[in-house]
Amino acid sequence: LIGLFVWNLQKRAVRQIPCKFMHCFGVANKRWITFQHLNFLKRMYVTQSSKDLSQQAKLKPDPVAHPVLEKKHLGQEKTVTCELRSVSPLHPPLSETSHRKDLATAVGAESKEKQWKEMKLQLDDLPGILARLSKIKLTALVVSTASAGFAMAPVPFDLTCFLLTSIGTGLASCAANSINQFFEVPFDSNMNRTKNRPLVRGQISPLLAVSFAATCAVPGIALLTLGVNPLTGALGAFNIFLYTCCYTPMKRMSIANTWVGAVVGAIPPIMGWTAATGSLDAGALLLGGILYSWQFPHFNALSWGLREDYSRGGYCMMSVTHPAMCRRVALRHCLALIGLSTVAPLLDVTTWNFPLVSLPINLYISYLGFRFYRDADRSSSRKLFFCSLWHLPMLLLLMLTCKKSLLESEDKSNHLRNHSHTVEMGLP
Amino acid sequence: MAGAAPRVGRWWLGSRRGFSRAGGGAGRLAAEGPVRGHKPESPASSFCPPACSCNDWIGPPDRHSNLRPIIFHIPKNESPLERKLREFRQETQIWNQQFWASQNMSFRKGKEEFISSRLKAKGLDMIDRTGQKVTLNAEEMADFYKDFLSKNFKKHMCYNREWYKRNFITTFLMGQVAFKRVWKKLGWKKMKVGN
């Protein structure tokens, strides 16, 4: 009996040290990644989103009126409340007879000529072009959520597996984003948010875009299937299919695209978890559920400010066709986040600290969701959108800090085993 | 294959002029009839690529369609497959231009009509005291956006199907052309090595 007890102690001691080390390393690593990703997100969205939400479609001014305006590719669109010319586009400006206007026309003509670009692939620009084609910032976000899934899995941290998962997921995301842009060229041209994409500007040919997507997808999925496990590879391949062949065409057919898109966003953390554990556990589905619910306040709030572009471009979005439902769904999923955070300790993913420490931020986003539901205006939609940007990294960070320690769960299972063993030994 | 002297390529300007009117321009013309509903092009956009260039050229976004026009280069020894690709791209460009120009035009027209009818109902003028045109905010425009989207739904469905088909065909033809070029190069290299 004593021998058994001593042997057990030794076993535990041997396992404790490497596991503890790996666990700390893993947690520290994830914290660093999430912190970086938080800052990165802030930078990305603060520069981009103000453009998204403050632009309004307006009639493009004639070169005669504003020769300089044409040169602006990036930068914020100013909200204009007046027409620059009183002449409607249907009636050609036949009244231009003054010499001054002719001169201005000549200047405008020259500047327009300069805007013609040769469609020759510049190798120096290629990395930047491919980064924009693959939506590298969104890819980084996707890889972060997959890393979070990996870190939350209740197994010792494996650096090689982690790196292979991250690279594989990143490549799959690049491929999916490239195909998405390949499909959407004329639509992207007509929306202010997307009119500077590489295919729209002719910086890269569609053939090259598709080839790039294939060069990312094949090694990416192969890496996940062969280097990690077939389940993760299958999820990656399925996600590419879901995003490119379901979500992208559905954007123009039915409002159900938002739900499909939410699933697309939920799969990466599930992939991270399955990469670590090799199986689809309840914990994986919980993480996926959190990401799924988060998509709604995030996207519905963003789409509120883009209704004009969506309507003109033929996109079927809830914010245009069913505005009340749009706000209701956003609020519903804000509240769902509170529920899901409470389920986390029940599934042994986190300790009971997590629902408590995450309650303030979950309540805050729910409050903003309620304001958006009630007020239905630009200001409340913007507040909700910006909140969602820091809410997700913060939630994942809190989750990581409250992760159920491997030792605790092992101790629990060992203690139970010991107890049952001693009971067995005690029996005559 | 590559000559020492710079090649004087021909340019299919009919494609670009097809944005406003058919006819005229160097080289071959598209088989499209006159394009209705567009004002004559201003001299500002009568751009001609330099003679020494043998690539396509892409321009600034069109005022009406927001699509960037491409001027296609016609190489001296254009193969039938290359010609097929170029003509298909030209045709797609014109078709796209027509759709989006008319779409954007009808959106603007509908929007103006909606704003004027709403303002009339409120008893307000179209132009305010400072001489600027009065507009409605996004919340007030929401009914128009919803209405416009549902009215144009079928049109968009047809466009989407056609666009996906054309996009695939264009890319497939590009792949074929690229493959044939590589094959040719390899074939000549083998001949050189053989000699």
**Residue A284's pLDDT is what?**
95
Q: What number is the average pLDDT over the span B126-143?
A: 75
Cα–Cα distance measured from residue A155 to residue A87, given in angstroms and rounded to the nearest whole number: 69
Please indicate whether, in this complex, the C-beta atoms of B44 and A112 are within 8 angstroms of each other: yes
Q: How far is CA A294 from CA A64, A328, A375, A384, B168, in A?
A: 47, 14, 21, 11, 34
Inter-chain touch A117–B58, beta carbons under 8 Å: yes
pLDDT at A134: 95
Identify the pLDDT of residue A68: 37
CA dihedral A180, A185, A186, A191 (to 10 degrees): 80
CB A23 within 8 A of CB A157: yes
**A83/B contact by beta carbon, under 8 A:** yes
Q: What is the mean pLDDT of residues B50-65?
A: 89
The two three-digit tokens of residue B106, written as one number: 């009808």
- A interface mutation test: which of B149, B151, B153 has the most A CBs within 10 A? B149
Place B119 in a pLDDT band, splitting at 50, 70 and 90: confident
Q: What is the mean pLDDT of residues B54-75?
A: 91
Q: Which residues, listed in sequence order, are joined to residue A230 by a DSSP beta bridge?
A: none
Domains of chain A: 126-254 (1.10.357.140), 281-406 (1.20.120)
**CA nearest to A92 within chain B:** B39
Task: Please give the pLDDT value at position B177.
Answer: 94
Digitized pLDDT (tens) for each residue of chain A, 428 residues in all:
555 544 444 444 444 444 444 444 444 444 444 444 444 544 444 444 434 444 444 444 444 433 333 333 333 333 333 333 344 444 444 455 566 767 777 677 677 777 888 888 888 999 999 999 999 999 999 999 999 999 999 999 999 999 999 999 999 999 999 999 999 999 999 998 899 999 999 999 999 999 999 999 999 999 999 999 999 999 999 999 999 999 999 999 999 999 999 999 999 999 999 999 999 999 999 999 999 999 999 999 999 999 999 999 999 999 999 999 999 999 999 999 999 999 999 998 999 999 999 999 999 999 999 999 999 989 999 999 999 999 999 999 999 999 887 766 556 556 666 766 666 665 56
List the structure tokens of A31.
Answer: 């914290």
Contacts of residue A317, defined as CB under 8 A and 6 or more positions apart, other chains included, come to A251, A255, A257, A258, A303, A306, A307, A310, A326
Interval B104-133 mean pLDDT: 84
- Residue of A186, A189, A202 lying closest to B70 (CB–CB): A202
Residue A108, chain B, CB below 8 Å: the answer is yes
Whether A391 and A360 have beta carbons less than 8 Å apart is answered as no
In sequence order, the 6+-apart residues with CB closer than 8 A to the CB of A189 are A195, A200, B61, B65, B66, B67, B68, B100
pLDDT above 60: residue B8: no
- In A46-198, where do the E strands start and end? 117-118
A206 touches chain B (CB under 8 A): yes
How many helices and strands, by DSSP H and E, does chain B display? 4, 3
**Is residue A72 within 8 angstroms of chain B, CB to CB?**
no
Q: How far is the C-alpha of A100 from the C-alpha of A270, rounded, in Å? A: 65
- Is B133 in the A-facing interface, judged by CB distances under 8 Å? yes
Question: Where do the H-state alpha helices sit in B37-126?
Answer: 80-122
Cβ <8 Å between A189 and B67: yes
pLDDT of residue B50: 81
The arithmetic mean of pLDDT across residues B163-190, rounded, is 92
Edge to edge, the sheet with strand B70-74 lists: A117-118, B57-58, B70-74, B10-12
pTM (2 d.p.): 0.74
The encoded tokens of residue A217 equal 């997808």
Average pLDDT over residues B25-50: 45
Alpha helices in A199-322 (DSSP H): 206-222, 230-241, 248-250, 257-277, 282-304, 307-313, 318-321
Nearest by CB: A202 against B44, B58, B133: B58
